[in-house]
Amino acid sequence: YHSRTEIFVSGELLLREAMLLDPREGALPRRMGRFNTFLTAVLIGPAVQESAAMLLEGISKLGLQRRGDMVMSASPLKNGGVILRLASESVELAGQELRRRLAFIVPLLGDDPWARKW
């Protein structure tokens, strides 16, 4: 698996992130450990700037839980945005956490993006 995400704002590169999961580098299950779900969410723009700052602050206060079923980090972006990364033992757990952390987007969108995902 290989993915590359690039985000430009007004022609300026804001984010470049790449992920490569290549079995030639070693067995994937061994390298991924107990996690089988990885996600990245990027929040940028004036409509989410305040919520992004609160998300960054809240996640920065979390401690690492020994042998936890999820690991999460948030990093600031120079435009006031945030990049959220999460590794989880299950898709369901990752989805629940993402939905909980990003609940503020429902009123912004005027709809729940998770309500009709299937």
Residue range 50-60, pLDDT digits in tens: 999 999 999 88
Per-residue pLDDT reduced to its tens digit, 26-66: 888 777 788 888 899 999 999 999 999 999 999 888 776 77
E-state strands within 1-118: 2-9, 12-20, 37-43, 70-76, 82-88
How many degrees, rounded to 5, is the angle at CA 60 between CA 35 and CA 40? 45
Q: Is 82 exposed, middle or buried (0-12, 13-18, 19+ CB in 10 A)?
A: buried
Query: What is the per-residue pLDDT for 118?
Result: 60
What is the maximum span of the chain, computed from C-alpha positions, in angstroms?
45
Identify the pLDDT of residue 40.
Answer: 92
